[in-house]
Amino acid sequence: MKSLNILIISILSIALLAACKKEDTATPASETGQMILQFDNKVGSEELNLTESGGTVYPYKTASGQTFNITKMGYYVSKIKLETEDGTVHEDEMNVSANAAEVKGYYHVLESNSSSQLITLKNIPAGKYTKVTFTIGVDEDGVQEGAAGGVLDPAEGAWFWNWNAGYIGFAIEGASPNSSQKEVVGEGWKIHEKSFALHVGGWKDVAPASGQTQKFVNNVKTLTLALDSPVTVSEKLQPKAHIVVDALKVLDGVNIDFATSYAIHAPALGKPLAEQLSNAFILHHVHQ
C-alpha cells in the first residue's frame, strides 16, 4: 500500500511540474517580416535619365519616330496587397490624417527621388506570397477625408488638382521638337517652348449635363502582378520585387503625337493614357 501511495504521489508531482512548465511558457507571437517593392522607371529598354527643364537634347524616340526627353515622371501607389499561395491576402495598413506622421499606405514615387522608389512593407505575416496588387492613383478614400498630410498634402508638394478631379495619379513631363507648346511666362514660373505635360488624374465619374462633354472620369487603376516565383517572408527573409515602369508603353500605347497632345490637365483627356497603365507596370523579377 505504501508503495502504491508513493507511485501516486510521483505521478501527481510529474503532472504538476508539466502543468507549471506549460503555464510558464509564453505563447510566441505570430511571426512577421518585411518585403520591398522597387519601382524602376525606364523608357523602353533604356534607363530613364531626367533632363533639366528647358533642355533641348532628346534621347528617346516614340514608335512613330518623334524624339523627346523627360523632365519629370512619377505616380501615386496605394492600397498594396500581397496574396499567398492559398489565397490569403495581406493588406498594407491605410490611413488618411491631417497629421503627416499618421498617414499610411500612400506612396508618392518620383523619378527625382530615388528613396521614394523603394517601398518597404512591414508587419507581413510569415508565409509564401505569389501576387502583389496595388492601385495607381488616389481613390475616394484618400480624397474624401478632408485635410490630408504627408504625401497627400498640397502644401508639401502633393499633386492635387481640386475636389472633383482629385489627385494626379500618374505624370510624365518633358519636351519634344514636335511639341506645339508655346513659351508661357508667369510670376515665378515658366512653361518652356516645345515642352509637354501629360497628367492622369480623376477619381470619380461625373455624368455631364445634357449636351455637355464629360469632364470628370475615374482614372484610378488597380493592377495585379504575379511574382515570377513564390517568395518567402519571415523574420530572416526580406524579399524584393523589382517592378519596371515603362514610360514608352504609355506613350506608344496611345500613339502619342506631341504636336496635338502636349498639355493634358483634365481627367477626361487623360483617360486614354490611364488605360495603358496596366501595360506599363511590369514585374521584372524578384530577389529572395
**pLDDT by residue (tens digit) across 39-65?**
999 999 999 999 999 999 999 999 999
User: Residue 191 belongs to what domain range?
Assistant: 29-287
Cell of 42: 525606364
Please count the structural domains in the chain: 1
**pLDDT by residue (tens digit) across 214-238?**
888 999 999 999 999 999 999 999 9
Would residue 236 count as lying in a domain? yes
Distance CA 65, CA 232 (A): 44
Q: Which pairing describes strands 195-201 and 263-264: parallel, antiparallel, or unpaired?
A: parallel
Would residue 101 count as lying in a domain? yes
**pLDDT by residue (tens digit) across 234-261?**
999 999 999 999 999 999 999 999 999 9
* CA 217 from centre of chain: 20
**pLDDT by residue (tens digit) across 117-132?**
999 999 999 999 999 9
Would residue 24 count as lying in a domain? no
Per residue, what are the HEC states of the chain?
A: CHHHHHHHHHHHHHHHHHHHHHHHCCCCCCCEEEEEEEEEEEECCEECCCCCCCCCCCCEECCCCCEEEEEEEEEEEEEEEEEECCCCEEECCCECCCCHHHCECEEEEECCEHHHHEEEEEEEECEEEEEEEEEECCCHHHHCCCCCCHHHCHHHCCCEEECCCEEEEEEEEEECCCCCCCCEEECCEEECCCEEEEEEECECCCCCCCCCCCCCCECCEEEEEEEEEEEEECCCCCCEEEEEEEHHHHHHHCCCCCCCCCEECCHHHHHHHHCCHHHHEEEEEEEC
Could you tell me the pTM of the whole model? Answer: 0.87
Q: Is the pLDDT of residue 156 over 50?
A: yes
- Residue 158: the pLDDT is 95
Distance CA 96, CA 102 (A): 7
**pLDDT by residue (tens digit) across 142-155?**
997 667 999 999 99
Cell of 5: 501511495
**pLDDT by residue (tens digit) across 164-215?**
899 999 999 999 999 999 999 999 889 999 999 999 999 998 888 887 788 8
Would residue 15 count as lying in a domain? no
- Residue 40: the pLDDT is 98
Cell of 236: 530572416
Would residue 202 count as lying in a domain? yes
Would residue 6 count as lying in a domain? no
Q: Is the pLDDT of residue 27 over 50?
A: no
Would residue 172 count as lying in a domain? yes
Asked whether the beta carbons of 201 and 219 are under 8 A apart, the reply is: yes
Residue with grid cell 513631363, as numbered in its chain? 173
Read off the amino acid at residue 184. Answer: V
Q: Which residues pair with 283 in a beta bridge?
A: 243
Would residue 12 count as lying in a domain? no
- Residue 288: the pLDDT is 87
Distance CA 62, CA 59 (A): 11
